[in-house]
Structure 1
Amino acid sequence: MTVSSQSSQHLMRNVPDSSIGSVLVTWYQKNKRALPWRQRFLESADPYVIWISEIMLQQTTIQAVLPAYERFLGVFPNLKALAAASEDQVRLACRGLGYYRRFRLMHEAAQVLAARQPFHWPRTFKEWRELPGIGDYTAAAVSSIAFQEVKAVVDGNVERVFCRLLDRRVVPDQKLKKEFQAIGDHLIPRTAPGDYNQAVMELGQTICIKQNPRCLVCPVQNYCAAYAAGSQNLAPAPRKPMEYEDVRMHLWLLLRDNKIGLVKRSKEARFLGGTLGLPTALEAEGRLRWEQAGHWNFEPDSFGSFKHSITRHKIQAFVHHKEWRGDAREMTWIPLDQAESQLVSNLDRKALHLFLGKFTQTS
Structure 2
Amino acid sequence: MDSPISEASALSSRMLAWYDRHRRDLPWRARPGEVADPYRVWLSEVMLQQTTVQAVAPYFQRFTERWPTVQALASADLDAVLHAWAGLGYYARARNLHRCAQVVAFEHGGRFPDTEEALRRLPGIGAYTAAAIAAIAFDRPAAVLDGNIERVISRVFAVEDPLPGSKETLRRLAGTLTPDLRPGDYAQALMDLGSSICVPRRPRCILCPWSDACRARALGIQEDLPRKAAKAERPVRRGIAFWLVNPEGAVLLRRRPEEGMLGGMMEVPSTPWLAGPAPELADAIVAAPVAVPPATAWRPLPGVVRHAFTHFPLELVVAAAVAGEGWRAVEGVWAPVDRLADFALPTVMMKVVRHALSKT
The TM-score bracket by the shorter chain reads 0.7 to 0.9
Q: In the alignment, does 2:124 pair up with 1:120?
A: no
Q: In the alignment, does 2:209 pair up with 1:219?
A: yes
Show the 5 A alignment for 1:314-329. 314-325=313-324, 326-327=327-328
Q: In the alignment, does 2:120 pair up with 1:129?
A: yes
1:254 partner SS: strand
Contact 2:298 2:319 in 1 (8 A): no
Query: For the structure 1 residues 290 and 162, does the alpha-carbon distance in structure 2 shift closer, same or farther, using more than 3 Å as the test?
Result: farther
Show the 5 A alignment for 1:17-56. 17-18=7-8, 19-39=10-30, 45-56=36-47
* Aligned with residue 97 of structure 1, among 85, 88, 96: 88
Distance in 1, matches of 2:81 and 2:91, equals: 10
Distance in 2, matches of 1:353 and 1:254, equals: 14
Q: In the alignment, does 2:136 pair up with 1:145?
A: yes
TM-score computed with the length of structure 2 as normaliser? 0.86
Give the letter aligned to residue 71 of structure 1.
R
Distance in 2, matches of 1:307 and 1:272, equals: 16
Corresponding residue for residue 192 of structure 1: 182
User: What is the RMSD of the two structures over their aligned residues, measured on CA atoms?
Assistant: 2.8
Contact 2:41 2:137 in 1 (8 A): yes
The size of the alignment, in residue pairs, is 347
Corresponding residue for residue 309 of structure 1: 308
Distance in 2, matches of 1:102 and 1:309, equals: 18
1:245 partner SS: coil
The alignment-based identity, stated in percent, is 35
Which deviates more, 143-152 or 12-21?
12-21
Contact 1:41 1:50 in 2 (8 A): no
Corresponding residue for residue 273 of structure 1: 263
Q: 1:87: how far off?
A: 2.3
Distance in 1, matches of 2:168 and 2:102, equals: 32
Query: For the structure 1 residues 292 and 133, does the alpha-carbon distance in structure 2 shift closer, same or farther, using more than 3 Å as the test?
Result: farther
Give the letter aligned to residue 288 of structure 1.
A
Q: 1:54: how far off?
A: 0.5
Contact 1:41 1:47 in 2 (8 A): no
Distance in 2, matches of 1:111 and 1:228, equals: 50
Unaligned runs of 5+ in 1: 1-9
Q: 1:294: how far off?
A: 5.0
Q: 1:252: how far off?
A: 2.8
Q: 1:42: how far off?
A: 7.4
Q: 1:137: how far off?
A: 0.5
1:82 partner SS: helix
Unaligned runs of 5+ in 2: none
1:195-230 Cα distance to aligned partner (Å, 9 max, x none):
111111222222222222222322222221222232
Give the letter aligned to residue 238 of structure 2.
R
Show the 5 A alignment for 1:1-363. 10=1, 12-15=2-5, 17-18=7-8, 19-39=10-30, 45-116=36-107, 118-174=109-165, 176-256=166-246, 257-267=248-258, 271-282=261-272, 286=280, 287-288=283-284, 295=291, 299=298, 301-325=300-324, 326-327=327-328, 330-358=331-359
Give the letter aligned to residue 152 of structure 1.
A
Query: For the structure 1 residues 291 and 182, does the alpha-carbon distance in structure 2 shift closer, same or farther, using more than 3 Å as the test?
Result: farther
Contact 2:237 2:313 in 1 (8 A): yes
Query: For the structure 1 residues 65 and 20, does the alpha-carbon distance in structure 2 shift closer, same or farther, using more than 3 Å as the test?
Result: same
Contact 1:94 1:344 in 2 (8 A): no
Contact 2:36 2:136 in 1 (8 A): no
Distance in 1, matches of 2:151 and 2:48, equals: 18
